Amino acid sequence: MKKYFFVIALLTAAFSVHAQWNDGVLINVQEVTIAKMKAARMTGAEAVMKVIEQYADGRYRFAFVSNNYLIPAEQRANLNMGKNRFTVALAGYPALNDLLYAQIFFDNSFFFVALTKNETDMKRSNDIQIIRMNYEKGNAVRRNNVRDTIQRNNIIPLGIDTVERYNQ
């Protein structure tokens, strides 16, 4: 029951505070236990990609990856994941050409990854630093470039994985 309440509180707080658009549909909330992820010899970025790609098809051509940001102080009590797991909350935006928007919460931080079909589907802001990359689910080179950018830009700085694990 406590876990159910936590997920409801997480979703309510996350999408009321951080959502950029108001017509989104919540698709999935996936909690990733870091110990199990490491036992499966999976990197944090690969775990994030696997959650997102369950809902992506071959039509998505661009990925947008943000930097890491601190959760606002007033939301930390509801959104603190701790250091043994992270949560991927995935929303779809039908009005924006089926844009897929994932927020990843770890400890007191978050970042987001968005997949789009067209470059103009993502409404960018000058307030947030975002990396735009070419992406194709079926193209291993482009997909792995996005995965590696998430790993270097977000996962390793947050401490989900270490540099040594990534380079092995």
Task: Convert the pLDDT of each residue in 54-113 to its tens digit.
Answer: 999 999 999 999 999 998 888 877 776 678 999 999 999 998 889 999 999 998 899 999
Q: What is the dihedral of CA 152, 73, 103, 128, to 10 degrees?
A: -70
Band of pLDDT at residue 139, cut at 50, 70 and 90: very high
Band of pLDDT at residue 16, cut at 50, 70 and 90: very low
C-alpha to C-alpha distance for 115 and 99, rounded to whole angstroms: 6
pLDDT at 21: 52
Q: Which residues lie below 8 Å from residue 79, measured CB to CB, with a gap of 6+? A: 10, 13, 14, 71, 105, 108, 110
pLDDT at 2: 53
pLDDT at 168: 47
First CA to last CA across the chain, in angstroms?
Answer: 40
pTM for the model stands at 0.81
Q: Looking at the predicted structure, is the pLDDT value of residue 147 above 60? A: yes
Number of domains in the chain: 1
pLDDT at 161: 84
Its domain, for residue 130, covers: 2-167
C-alpha to C-alpha distance for 69 and 141, rounded to whole angstroms: 28
Q: Looking at the predicted structure, is the pLDDT value of residue 151 above 70? A: yes
Q: Looking at the predicted structure, is the pLDDT value of residue 167 above 90? A: no
At 80 the three-state DSSP class reads coil
C-alpha to C-alpha distance for 38 and 165, rounded to whole angstroms: 9
Among 2-6, 68-72, 158-162, which stretch is predicted with the lowest mean pLDDT? 2-6
Tokens of 113: 């990854």
Q: Looking at the predicted structure, is the pLDDT value of residue 1 above 60? A: no
pLDDT at 72: 86
Q: Looking at the predicted structure, is the pLDDT value of residue 17 above 90? A: no
Q: What is the pLDDT of residues 38-60, one digit of tens each?
A: 999 999 999 999 999 999 999 99
